[in-house]
Structure 1
Amino acid sequence: MAIAFSSVCLMIVLAFSAMNGGASFVVGLLLALLPLGIWLPVILALDRMEPEPKNALILAFLWGAGVAALVSMVLNTLNFVVITDLLVSTDDGWYWTAVVGAPIVEEVLKAFLLFGMLWFRRHEINGLTDGIIYASMVGLGFAATENITYFIQAAEVDQLGFVFLMRAVIAPLLHPLCTAMTGIGVAVAAMSRPGMLRFTAPLIGLTGAIALHSLWNAASSRGIGGLASAYLIGLVVMIVLIVVVQRERRRLVGLILHYLPKYIPTGVVAMVDVQMLSSLKARKAAREWATSRGGRVSGTAMREYQQAATELAILHERAEHAAAEPAELENQRQALLWVMQRSRATFLPTAGTANLPWATTAH
């Protein structure tokens, strides 16, 4: 339902842009899609240890591209009219709309999806990386739709090259970087014990997103020097996020090494599997081996096994932090063990684990 609603909103935005842009709409649409071909794979590659469900990622992207973009178009226009009436000057109206009105409107609208996931799909947010990825998907969707409008307007005044350089080359990750602040806050809340932090962390993250967005818009409107400052700010934020993702990956490997060996006596995991699950290179080798041995079914089973085993390690951490009810955690644990047992029986029908090919690539 949410995906369908977001898709309808996106269609409305595209129809409105097509009616107003004419021939420039096609050019704007194609140029807006170009950055997605680069940055979507990059963002998705951040979460190779525990990939998020495709339907959740699609919803995040469509929410940003559809719902958030459509509503922000209306509210930003109203803000501009009100602010301009108060300030008289059109230039001042545009400036204060960009620095104050737009950051609040856009970041709040993008945050609704993340807050909704925190409420309805908390179990999908297992670390800071998950929050960053979902937030980045929302931001990429929003940026793509917004860029269409900017490119259409630029084409009408012969400034398309400059605007494309600014929005698609110099600052293609403005919205993902800003919304990632909210994503981190939501992830902190999802992993926290019941208490005030579950309420304050998302709000602090949202405040950070609004502040970063406002600072960027204010700095980039101050000429070359301001633009350089804005770009430097964005670069620093990106580096910080990359460090966070790398630390999260090491944390996840630590959880796998700590918790999964306890399940060796059950037969759903062997020590060689624990080693495989701790390395991206070994995981890939295992999937390739399973596919070559048993076709697509076996390869899919290996992928499901890796996913379930990783989530099992994360589940134990959530249990230690009391991030969910014990009965809920136990139900999830039993479900994950069932998936691991079923998948293992598919790609490894015999009991032996000696000389498995990924054992030599696990380090």
Structure 2
Amino acid sequence: MATLDPQAILDGRSPGRPSVMLIIGMVVSSLCAMIALGLYAVFGGTGFVVGLGLAILPVPMLVAVVLALDRLEPEPPKDLIFAFLWGAGVAVLGALILNTLGYRYVTMPLFGDTDGRFWTAAVGAPIIEESLKGAVLFVLLWFRRNEIDGITDGIVYAAMVALGFAMMENISYYMQALDGPGGVKSLESVFVLRGLISPFGHPLFTAMTGLGVAYAANHRTGRTAALILGLLGAMLLHGMWNASTAFGVKGLLVVYLIDFGILLVLLVLIFNERRALVREIGQYLPLYQGTGLVSPQDIQMLATMPQRRVARRWARTVGGRFSARAMSDYQLAATELVLLHQRMDAGVIDQGFFASRQAELMNLMYWTRQAFLSQPGDPGAAPWGPSGFAPPPPHR
């Protein structure tokens, strides 16, 4: 275990080598976020601090909800942070500049002040903002394709970039409301609408792009069409929501019901994908019983979230935090192994990559298994009854 970097293996990167491109992306995104905040502070008036506080307030809960969707095979934290920072930085600053220029030099000269604002909100902003948010998903598809294993991953990454964007955008809305004629009452109305009633608006829009990216990452044909349709779907939903504000409460209600229906469909897709993954655990992991890496009881344990939690608690009881971490890594490595088989069967990876990745994951499973079975406690006391069989260590 001392020679392994479990997180690097699970992330599919070289041990001890953080991605230079990822670091650069985080730095650039953070700088853009700070510039946007600086502009808000300078031009936003007295409402900046209030707007900042209200915008940040629901974010931890919203992020927790998104991460709960992906508990069976969670994405690398660094990639999720990068997506959030991109939304809060590059996408927001880019949209701030491009939306302003589009209104000043395109929609206002063509349609006048009032109609120009409507067309900017209903057409210009959705095109610009969804393109900027979707760009990071295309980056992840290009550089981290093997981390996007299905619909859930595409939606999770899309939601993270959109939550970062929405948080920063809400600051400006709250500032404008507080500094406007309505003052505090106007701020209350905007907070209820954006912070409580429709906090998943932007994640829902960008999820369409996430679906396209997920399809492209896991299929050999139709990739370009999926990416285009996904991005257009995001723009359409975003444009419908923005345009509905011109039709009062009835317009908002109609579009809200449509969006809520789409949200339910996405949740069903995520649930069905999780069930399919559970079935594949029972399909692929039995192939490895002869290696001693899994037993029939282990496969049953790996197939449900409650049993996985029981296993981690048992490992902590037997060997403390180190053993619990080893159990968690073992569970994730086993799940990654199943997803590797899934991608191989779909024909999106070649035999060489499959063999190399398979060896890494089997090696990690062996050493993490040894870590929680070799503790001073009694391994036989495990609720699912793990096998104590320990084959010779695989070649490293």
Unaligned residue ranges in structure 2 (runs of 5+): 1-23, 387-396
Does 1:236 find its partner at 2:257?
no
Q: Which residue of 2 aligns with 1:177?
A: 204
Match 1:211 to one of 232, 236, 248: 236
In 1: Cα distance, 2:58 partner to 2:143 partner: 31
User: With structure 2 as the length reference, what TM-score do the two structures score?
Assistant: 0.88
Q: Which residue of 2 aligns with 1:57?
A: 80
AA at the equivalent of 1:180:
A
**Deviations, residues 105-134 of structure 1 (Å, cap 9, x unaligned):** 000101111011111000110110000000
In 1: Cα distance, 2:96 partner to 2:78 partner: 26
Q: State the identity as a percent.
A: 48
Unaligned residue ranges in structure 1 (runs of 5+): none
AA at the equivalent of 2:197:
I
Q: Which residue of 2 aligns with 1:163?
A: 190
Offset at residue 358 of structure 1 (A): 4.2
CA contact (8 A) 1:283 1:358 kept: no
Match 1:313 to one of 338, 360, 363: 338
Q: Which residue of 2 aligns with 1:356?
A: 382
CA contact (8 A) 1:264 1:271 kept: yes
Q: Which residue of 1 aligns with 2:224?
A: 199
Q: Which residue of 2 aligns with 1:19?
A: 42
Does 1:287 find its partner at 2:312?
yes
Q: Which residue of 1 aligns with 2:8?
A: none
In 2: Cα distance, 1:85 partner to 1:14 partner: 26
Offset at residue 88 of structure 1 (A): 4.5
CA contact (8 A) 1:270 1:353 kept: no
Offset at residue 264 of structure 1 (A): 0.5
**Deviations, residues 211-238 of structure 1 (Å, cap 9, x unaligned):** 1111111123210110101211111111
Counterpart mapping for 1:60-99 below 5 A: 60-99=83-122
Does 1:118 find its partner at 2:118?
no
CA contact (8 A) 2:329 2:368 kept: yes
Counterpart mapping for 1:24-35 below 5 A: 24-35=47-58
Q: Which residue of 1 aligns with 2:215?
A: 188
**Deviations, residues 232-287 of structure 1 (Å, cap 9, x unaligned):** 11111110111011001101101111000110100111111110110000001111
User: With structure 1 as the length reference, what TM-score do the two structures score?
Assistant: 0.95
Offset at residue 84 of structure 1 (A): 3.8
Which sits farther off after the overlay, 322-331 or 174-183? 322-331
AA at the equivalent of 1:217:
N
Offset at residue 353 of structure 1 (A): 6.6
Offset at residue 38 of structure 1 (A): 2.1
Q: Which residue of 2 aligns with 1:142?
A: 165
Secondary structure in 2 matching 1:324: coil
- Judging changes above 3 Å, is the alpha-carbon distance between structure 1 residues 330 and 232 closer, same or farther for their aligned structure 2 residues? same
- Judging changes above 3 Å, is the alpha-carbon distance between structure 1 residues 359 and 73 closer, same or farther for their aligned structure 2 residues? farther
CA contact (8 A) 1:257 1:278 kept: yes
Which sits farther off after the overlay, 106-115 or 32-41? 32-41
Q: Which residue of 2 aligns with 1:225?
A: 250
Which sits farther off after the overlay, 133-142 or 13-22? 13-22
In 2: Cα distance, 1:314 partner to 1:84 partner: 48
In 2: Cα distance, 1:221 partner to 1:339 partner: 56
In 2: Cα distance, 1:295 partner to 1:5 partner: 39
AA at the equivalent of 1:230:
V
CA contact (8 A) 2:108 2:117 kept: no
In 2: Cα distance, 1:256 partner to 1:181 partner: 28
Secondary structure in 1 matching 2:311: helix
| Alpha-carbon RMSD | 1.5
Match 1:330 to one of 355, 366, 378: 355
In 2: Cα distance, 1:28 partner to 1:292 partner: 45
